[in-house]
Structure 1
Amino acid sequence: MATENQHPVTVIGAGPVGLAAAAHLIARGLPVRVYEAGATVAAHVRDWGHVRLFSPWEYNVDPMAREILLRHGWREPAADAFPTGAELASAYLEPLAGTPELAPVIETGARVSAISRLGIDKVGSRDRADRPFVLTVIDAHGGTRRELARAVIDASGTWSTQNPLGADGLTAAGEADNVTRVARGIPDVAGRERTAFQGRTTAVVGAGHSAATVLLDLARLAEESPDTRVVWVTRSGNLARVFGGGSADRLAARGALGSRLRALVDAGRVELVPGFAVAGVHRDGDRVALEGRDTGGSRRLCPVDRVVVATGQRPDPNLTREIRVDLDPALESVRALGPLIDPNEHSCGSVRPHGHRELAHPEPGFYTVGIKSYGRAPNFLMLTGYEQVRSVVAALAGDLAAADDVRLVLPETGVCSLQPAEAAQGCCGGTSVTGVAAVEAPSSAEPARCCGAAA
């Protein structure tokens, strides 16, 4: 059997963190292969290309990637400018992937569907660590092949596995039957999808920054088209994180996002329906109505034309079914990170620096990085992912001194001055849209008029 060191390190995903991992591996002289399921690099980023990040360029560029780019005459954007997703892709990720160092090792249209060890399944233990990984790769034409790897860095993210509408984490009743009236993530309300929302009533479900972005876009559309109506449905009545810390937020654009949304709610331009646990979506003529059901009984909102599900994402567990991973039982994050990032208990500033040791699994040589390492927790920043892969790659290169020298300084949200119960005890770490922060805080707004009524 060939030794594992003859095989490359495989990186799954060519988004910001995956490409940063490739840059660090190349800088260390380690062979690497990057597989990207999308037709281009940064495919997930392009999905929300119309959205402007609230983290400026200084937080969005990996230091090693910067070094490679500058060697080839790259003109770095202004550090204090705020890129859209499309600008992040075109001004940074595309040029990085096109450098002579990275271009030969990236394959797009190549989806890794499974990971195992060569000649042995998940149960077998004998000589397990000495066997290379084997990956099933499906190419753009549907062909399937197997590739070997010395180690695997999973930076595939969670964007492609959006959470369902149901507040219990399950698909809501009728959700599958009303797909033409349900949008997910962050639809381009002001651009290519404008006609689907203009002059209509839309209910946005969710309480994170993705939901806030959609609500602000819809409110702007309503200014131009007054018959456009916006309803905001949240499971909790505590909306602190999305309203944020205002001027106290170290990421000023994030603070402004929350402040603008709060002002819209206070002015009645966004009708807030808090404490509504969605259980179903049902056809009502040409419209749909959301049904809520919990221990307090059942409610039904007034019919709307469209529903936007902005309830976050979750990891896809199928990829790692045949290897030994250790996940937090609640968050599906790497287990070691769970207590540090749990939005139920996380206190401000408690996300301590973490690297290869926290990101490793019982399967030697396998690491989960980027937003996927946080599982269902929402408080991720690209800056975190860059430091993660720097540490992991140093460990793979045998430089444990560098791998263990992990440094991470995250911008405060500014909501830390709230009492723990009010702040949901989870306010630090910030996020760009690549990791949608979804924490909630108290609101004095009254329930929406008709749409807040009980059934």
Structure 2
Amino acid sequence: MMHPVAVIGAGPFGLSTAAHLRARGIPVRVFGEPMVSWRDHMPEGMLLKSTPVASNIDAPGRGHTLLDYCEASGTPRLVTDEDIIPVETFIGYGEWFQQRLVPGLERVRVVAVDRGRDGGFELKLDSGELFTAGAVVVATGLSGLAHLPPELAGAAGDGPTPAGPVSHSSQHHDLSRFSGKELLVVGAGQSALETAALAAEAGAQVRVVARGKGAVAFGAPPWQQPRLRPESPFGRAWSLYALSYYPHPYRYLPPQARHFLVRRILGPLGAWWLRDRFEGKVEVSEVERIVRAGTSGGRPVLEVQSVGGRTQELAADHVIAATGYRVDIAAMDFLGHELRTRLAVSRGTPRLGAGYRSSVPGLYFTGLPAAASYGPVMRFVCGTEFASPRLAAHLASAHG
């Protein structure tokens, strides 16, 4: 009897991978709450930065794009680069995709994965069930990977929490709780700028703390994109085109170059449509660095060094660290100790070969943990178009 493949995670990458495996006739069990990170860890009222064409979850057949969902559900059609996607629409799309292509989703959590005696894997679910899988695909998305810079840790106590002085942007769904409060948002990416704008619209007094002169910037609208360069899901540029459609050779670059490009390509930049909601409504402090964070009278205080070299203190009722996510195998504690020690890693990320396979036979990673091996496109939903069919094909060949 063929043991099923276990897919851990039910976000875009997990659902897309599972759909491709099922289309190949491979037994698969998929675990997790569908679109949970998008539903519980993104702010209410958020709009996606990606365009409709860059927001399709890849499927093995036609009829499952974002536009197909809009037409099936009666949602306003989202087609052009000027159409902006509400997060609620994208969550609905993901759930519709799951119901149609991954109907057997199991809404339970995998609490442990260990190597089995027969070369497979032993999994334990929070329901108490134990079972054996022939292969495991880790598609847990952003879960457990929220990054808090060490310089903010001094005000975070045992860690970031919405009830404490410092939190992470992923911990807030409803920003109305900050109405009438003073709020510092640390960061300069879309998450920081949109969180700041939404909080200001909810009645907070907001200041963004961004590192570097000119750190807060917004992308050009679609009608101002250069016309003589190739089109990609992220804009018109040769580099973006290559990273989007030809990520195959990325894993052969030197580690330093790979990690640098993942951080810098498609790095901190606000969406073009956010500028009018941000400028004039949110204050900005450009700093050279945050020296340290502490508390005074229960309020967080940031000691910062300005771009001009002057030191000053910024205080507020709360600090939100919109400081992104960092892949760290050590944080994936559902993977057994033996598995984690056997994995080849590079700066905490799994080193992946062809077909998204790790150094442990039968163990695969997709989505954000694959970005250091396959490039920054793996940070975005459109990365499913490259990853899912290739992972499924490799797994079918290796474990068929």
Instruction: State if a TM-score over 0.5 links the two structures.
Output: yes
Cα distance in 2 for residues equivalent to 1:287 and 1:117: 47
Pairing partner for 2:11 from 8, 15, 21: 15
Q: Give 1:339's aligned residue.
A: none
Q: Give 2:254's aligned residue.
A: none
Paired residues, number: 337
Alignment of 1:70-89 (within 5 A): 75=71, 77-80=77-80, 81-89=83-91
* Structure 1 residue 272, shift from structure 2 partner: 1.6
Cα distance in 2 for residues equivalent to 1:69 and 1:177: 40
Q: For structure 1, which runs of at least 5 residues remain unmatched after alignment?
A: 120-129, 337-355, 401-455
Q: Give 1:365's aligned residue.
A: 362
Contact 1:231 1:270 survives alignment (8 Å): yes
* 1:24-54 CA distance string (max 9 Å, x none): 0111110000011xxx311111021532112
Q: Give 1:389's aligned residue.
A: 388
* Structure 1 residue 230, shift from structure 2 partner: 1.9
Cα distance in 1 for residues equivalent to 2:55 and 2:281: 35
Name the CA shift for 1:215/1:24 in 2 (closer, same or farther; >3 Å): same
* Structure 1 residue 193, shift from structure 2 partner: 3.1
SS at structure 2 position matched to 1:218:
helix
Pairing partner for 1:281 from 294, 297, 308: 294
Cα distance in 2 for residues equivalent to 1:87 and 1:22: 22
Pairing partner for 2:350 from 334, 338, 346: 334
Contact 1:186 1:210 survives alignment (8 Å): no
* Structure 1 residue 158, shift from structure 2 partner: 2.0
* Structure 1 residue 98, shift from structure 2 partner: 1.8
Pairing partner for 1:257 from 271, 278, 281: 271
Cα distance in 2 for residues equivalent to 1:229 and 1:327: 42
Cα distance in 2 for residues equivalent to 1:7 and 1:79: 41
Name the CA shift for 1:215/1:207 in 2 (closer, same or farther; >3 Å): same
* 1:265-318 CA distance string (max 9 Å, x none): 6x5842223222253231x23532123589x99955232112111111233232
Cα distance in 2 for residues equivalent to 1:359 and 1:212: 33
Alignment of 1:161-310 (within 5 A): 161-167=145-151, 171-176=153-158, 179=161, 180=163, 181-185=165-169, 192-194=174-176, 196-221=177-202, 225=203, 228-237=204-213, 239=215, 243-245=218-220, 247-248=224-225, 251=234, 257=271, 260-261=274-275, 264=278, 269-277=282-290, 279-282=292-295, 284-285=296-297, 287-292=299-304, 299=311, 301-310=313-322
Name the CA shift for 1:399/1:135 in 2 (closer, same or farther; >3 Å): closer
Cα distance in 2 for residues equivalent to 1:368 and 1:213: 29
Identity of aligned residues (%): 25
Cα distance in 2 for residues equivalent to 1:399 and 1:63: 22
Cα distance in 2 for residues equivalent to 1:299 and 1:248: 39
Q: Answer yes or no: is 1:51 the counterpart of 2:46.
A: yes
Alignment of 1:113-128 (within 5 A): 113-119=111-117
Contact 2:54 2:381 survives alignment (8 Å): yes
Q: Match for 1:325: what amino acid?
A: L
SS at structure 1 position matched to 2:192:
helix
Q: Give 2:332's aligned residue.
A: 317
Cα distance in 1 for residues equivalent to 2:369 and 2:50: 19
Contact 2:160 2:168 survives alignment (8 Å): no
Q: For structure 2, which runs of at least 5 residues remain unmatched after alignment?
A: 227-232, 236-265
Name the CA shift for 1:312/1:171 in 2 (closer, same or farther; >3 Å): same
Cα distance in 1 for residues equivalent to 2:274 and 2:84: 17
* Structure 1 residue 333, shift from structure 2 partner: 3.0
Q: Answer yes or no: is 1:137 the counterpart of 2:125.
A: yes
Q: Match for 2:94: what amino acid?
A: L
Name the CA shift for 1:359/1:172 in 2 (closer, same or farther; >3 Å): farther
Contact 1:115 1:135 survives alignment (8 Å): yes
Cα distance in 1 for residues equivalent to 2:99 and 2:113: 27
TM-score (norm 1): 0.64
Name the CA shift for 1:369/1:275 in 2 (closer, same or farther; >3 Å): same
TM-score (norm 2): 0.72
Name the CA shift for 1:193/1:57 in 2 (closer, same or farther; >3 Å): same
* Structure 1 residue 174, shift from structure 2 partner: 4.5
Q: Answer yes or no: is 1:35 the counterpart of 2:31.
A: yes
Cα distance in 1 for residues equivalent to 2:321 and 2:48: 20
Calculate the aligned-residue CA RMSD, in Å: 3.6
Name the CA shift for 1:171/1:209 in 2 (closer, same or farther; >3 Å): same
Contact 2:292 2:304 survives alignment (8 Å): yes
